[in-house]
Amino acid sequence: MNFKQLEVFVAVAESRSFSKGADAACISQSTASQHIAALEESCGVRLLDRTGKGAVPTEAGKLLLQHGRKLLAVMKKTESAMARFVGGHEAELAVGGSTIPCTYLLPRIIRQLMVSAPTLVVRTRQGDSREVAQLLVREEVEVAVVGSLTDNDALTFEPLTKDSIRLVVGRQHPWYGVDRLTLDDLQTEPLVLREEGSGTGRAVQVALHEVGFDPGRMRVRAWMGSSEAVKQAVMLGIGASFLSDLSVLSELERGELSVVEISGVAIERMLYLAHRRGRDLSPAAKAFCAAARELLPPTGVVTTLPPL
């Protein structure tokens, strides 16, 4: 039994005519007869009686007609759902993001995405870069934007755009308004830093090691789990911190925070599109990646947020 045979049977049984059923199924009458014969052979029972009143369902035929209608309705719904999925309509997409991308970039990428997929539903999951990588591995999200690479052969990372990380202080801090410091100055004032595992924290550690400075020499007053928490601590005067430009653009414009350059140190990191290696992305995920590439500069550093 196959769906074409079932479709022809329902059409013939409902119309009680092989010719009308064949027309409804868009096939010839002889082909319709072949489908019915094959279906009866498959079921092992006669399904239609050929009478003067036309093709009349037998008791077995009535049973098959009852269930066949339901099966064909489900099939049509399935075909419609798949067509909407392929077209990116009424689909749902799970997207992951490490702290900075999830907070400051994903809303803008999603807005861009809605231009081409207005009915798409997006669910976001946030964590540090390692946690988001695990979400991808467990297939809890299909695609993600993260701030650092993870050593996992199951994942593919595509460079998306660059982000600068700089030392910032609040208004009441003694370094507020100071243009430039040396590395040795980092040992003199308390700092508030991101927890281990964050892309921001990893980029800072790598950059300081590259210029021969041991991050362990810094006076860390607090470790915090999000850039927003770090930013609030800095504005309250708890200490200075290294923060992504993306997370402090508004505060810098209002003068609530100030950037202090460090001689000989420039901290940049790449933000990546990540997904499972060897998997064909859904149309919705492909549209998300296209929106991200269209919105963000591929080589330069993000210095202003794309407008909402």
Task: Identify the sign of the CA torsion 273, 276, 280, 284.
Answer: negative
> Which portions of the chain are predicted below pLDDT 50?
300-305, 308
> Does residue 174 sit in helix, strand or coil?
coil
Domain harbouring 66, CATH code: 1.10.10.10
Same domain, 60 and 98: no
- Compute φ and ψ for 302, nearest 5 degrees: -70, 115
Exposure string for 195-205, b = 16+ CB within 10 A, e = fewer? eeebbbbbbbb
Domain harbouring 103, CATH code: 3.40.190.10
Q: For the segment 196-216, what is each residue's pLDDT rounded down to a tens digit?
A: 777 788 889 999 999 999 999
Domain boundary among 67, 84, 101: 84
Same domain, 170 and 262: yes
Assigned domain for 7 exists: yes
Exposure string for 242-281, b = 16+ CB within 10 A, e = fewer? bbbbbbbbebeeeeebbebebeebebebbbbbbbbeeeee
pLDDT for the residue numbered 89: 57
Assigned domain for 233 exists: yes
Give the CA angle between residues 263, 264, 265 to the nearest 5°.
Answer: 95
Give the CA angle between residues 233, 238, 241 to the nearest 5°.
Answer: 65
Assigned domain for 303 exists: no
Same domain, 44 and 98: no
Same domain, 149 and 195: no
Task: Give the number of domains in the chain.
Answer: 3
Domain boundary among 50, 84, 118: 84
d(CA 185, CA 292): 38
Sequence-separated (6 or more) residues with CB below 8 Å from residue 298: 159, 160, 161
List strand residue ranges (DSSP E) for 171-230, in order: 180-181, 190-194, 219-224
Assigned domain for 38 exists: yes
Same domain, 129 and 257: no
pLDDT for the residue numbered 107: 95
pLDDT for the residue numbered 125: 93
Same domain, 68 and 118: no
Same domain, 106 and 229: no
Assigned domain for 169 exists: yes
Same domain, 40 and 136: no
Q: What average pLDDT does the chain have?
A: 89
pLDDT for the residue numbered 300: 47
Domain boundary among 65, 84, 103: 84
pLDDT for the residue numbered 304: 47
pLDDT for the residue numbered 92: 84
The range of the structural domain enclosing residue 282 comes to 92-160+270-295
pLDDT for the residue numbered 91: 74
Same domain, 99 and 248: no
Q: Hey, what are 43's tokens? A: 């079921």
Assigned domain for 257 exists: yes
List strand residue ranges (DSSP E) for 33-179, in order: 48-51, 54-57, 92-97, 121-126, 143-146, 155-170
Same domain, 29 and 47: yes
CA distances from 47 to 4, 29, 59, 106, 271 (A): 16, 17, 8, 58, 63
pLDDT for the residue numbered 90: 54
Q: For the segment 100-115, what is each residue's pLDDT rounded down to a tens digit?
A: 999 999 999 999 999 9
- Number of Cβ atoms within 10 Å of the Cβ of 124: 18
Same domain, 152 and 174: no
> Which residue is it, tokens 């001689």?
263
Q: How many CA atoms lie within 13 A of 131 on its CB side?
A: 15
Same domain, 263 and 180: yes
Assigned domain for 31 exists: yes
Q: For the segment 78-100, what is each residue's pLDDT rounded down to a tens digit?
A: 887 777 677 655 578 999 999 89
Side chain identity at 61, as an amino acid letter? G
Q: Hey, what are 142's tokens? A: 């299909």
Task: Identify the sign of the CA torsion 39, 44, 48, 49.
Answer: positive
Assigned domain for 301 exists: no
0.75 surpassed by pTM: no
